[in-house]
Amino acid sequence: MLTELLIALQFLTVVRVRHDLPFSEVALGRSGAFFPVIGLALGLVVWGADAMLRLLIPVAFLNVVIVFVLAALSRGLHLDGLADSADGLLGSRERQRSLEIMRDSAIGTFGALAVIAAVLLKLRALDLLTGSYRGPALLLSPMLGRWACVVMAYSSRPARADGLGATFVRGVQFREFALASVVALIVVFSFLEVIGLVVFLPLAGLILSFTLYCNRRLGGVTGDTLGALSEMVETTAFCLFMVLENALSRR
């Protein structure tokens, strides 16, 4: 289990703990059970930074720092996946051509727009999150984004035969899906109780919709679409917490 945790940590973050970790299909797939744990750890980092720096620097500037730290700790992996997926899915209607575009490391117009939109939405949501839901948003949004990867992988097939994304998708089994989902649900409802449904259900709908779309459009999913979904869910979670706080403050 320690090896699986370390694989998840090294796969999802900038942290490098060992050079001999077995990134095999089985090991990488089994590490999916720890994806929400790594996401929650990232949330703890930005929550701690927010708590310590809020009295020292303006909140608007602090929000930029938080968004940057989240991206940097994840090696920009999910933003890169979002950009490649936007270029591939919107740049061509042909499956093979879309996959070729997604494999290209260069960022196109659609990719740039997608990244800009995600960053701006996070920044604006954090600007408006000034009350009691700011903490849960910082803690839970990264966790929910990483959990989404496991759900997509379990319910999909690889669109390509090679790559770490394909290895991960083939390796994720019901055990990983169930453990990751149980952890995510327990954490969400521990913080939010029944009102957690307001956040959880829309995100579940987003995950299901994008997963079905990718499987139909590309014949499966790739590492890029996994990263894109994680970024979409994380960004949407921040926005949902902002909407929830705004709605409750008007009651």
Total length of the chain: 251
**Cα separation, 212 vs 73, whole angstroms:** 29
**Residue 203 and residue 107 in contact, taking contact as beta carbons nearer than 8 Å:** no
Helix axes 35-53, 2-12, angle to 10 degrees: 60
Q: How far apart are CA 186 and CA 192, in angstroms?
A: 10
Does residue 32 belong to any structural domain of this protein?
yes
Tokens standing for 169?
């998708």
Q: Confirm whether 211 is domain-assigned.
A: yes
Task: Give the residue from 171, 174, 184, 178 showing the smallest Cα distance to 230.
Answer: 184
Asked if residue 14 belongs to a domain, the reply is no
Q: Which domain holds residue 181?
A: 2-6+21-246
What string of pLDDT tens digits covers the 251 residues of the chain? 788 899 999 989 998 877 777 778 888 899 999 999 999 999 999 999 999 998 899 999 999 999 999 999 999 999 999 999 999 999 888 999 999 999 888 899 999 999 999 999 999 999 999 999 999 999 999 999 999 999 999 999 999 888 888 999 999 999 999 999 999 999 999 999 889 899 999 999 999 999 999 999 999 999 999 999 999 999 999 999 999 998 887 76
Instruction: Write down the pLDDT at residue 233.
Output: 98
Degrees to nearest 5, angle at CA 13 with 201 and 178: 40
Spatial separation of the C-alpha atoms in residues 101 and 171, rounded to whole Å = 25
For residue 12, being part of any structural domain is answered with no
* Domain count along the chain: 1
Phi, psi of 29 (to 5 degrees): -65, -45
Q: Is residue 229 part of a domain?
A: yes
Q: What pLDDT, on the 0 to 100 scale, is given for residue 87?
A: 95
Q: How far is 121 from 232, CA to CA, in rounded Å?
A: 10
Per the domain annotation, does 72 fall within a domain?
A: yes
11 falls within a domain: no
